Amino acid sequence: MIVRELEEIVELRLKRRAARHGRSMEEEVREILCNAIRDEQGPQIGLGSRIAAHFEGKGLDTDLPELRGIEARSASFGE
């Protein structure tokens, strides 16, 4: 694939982006194109669902009193 008439600023920014990711400009463009196509496939997962998936299987090791029927109190700062 050959891309003609690419603005200089676009090429410069692609080179910088590729360098940040430790890739050649060709690899960076390939990754951008693959991500663009991937994003079009199927329904998008919402932010809440992504957050829930990130924390799935993780939890607290200790009981929190307010979760066990004890009313939460305001913080006391030595007054």
List of the chain residues with pLDDT < 50: none
- Look up the pTM and report it: 0.49
pLDDT (0 to 100) of residue 16: 96
- pLDDT at 25 (0 to 100): 94
Output the pLDDT for position 1.
Answer: 84
What single-letter amino acid sits at 67?
L
- Three-class secondary structure assignment of 14-45: HHHHHHHCCCCHHHHHHHHHHHHHHHHCCCCC
pLDDT for 58 equals 84
Check residue 72 and give its pLDDT: 73
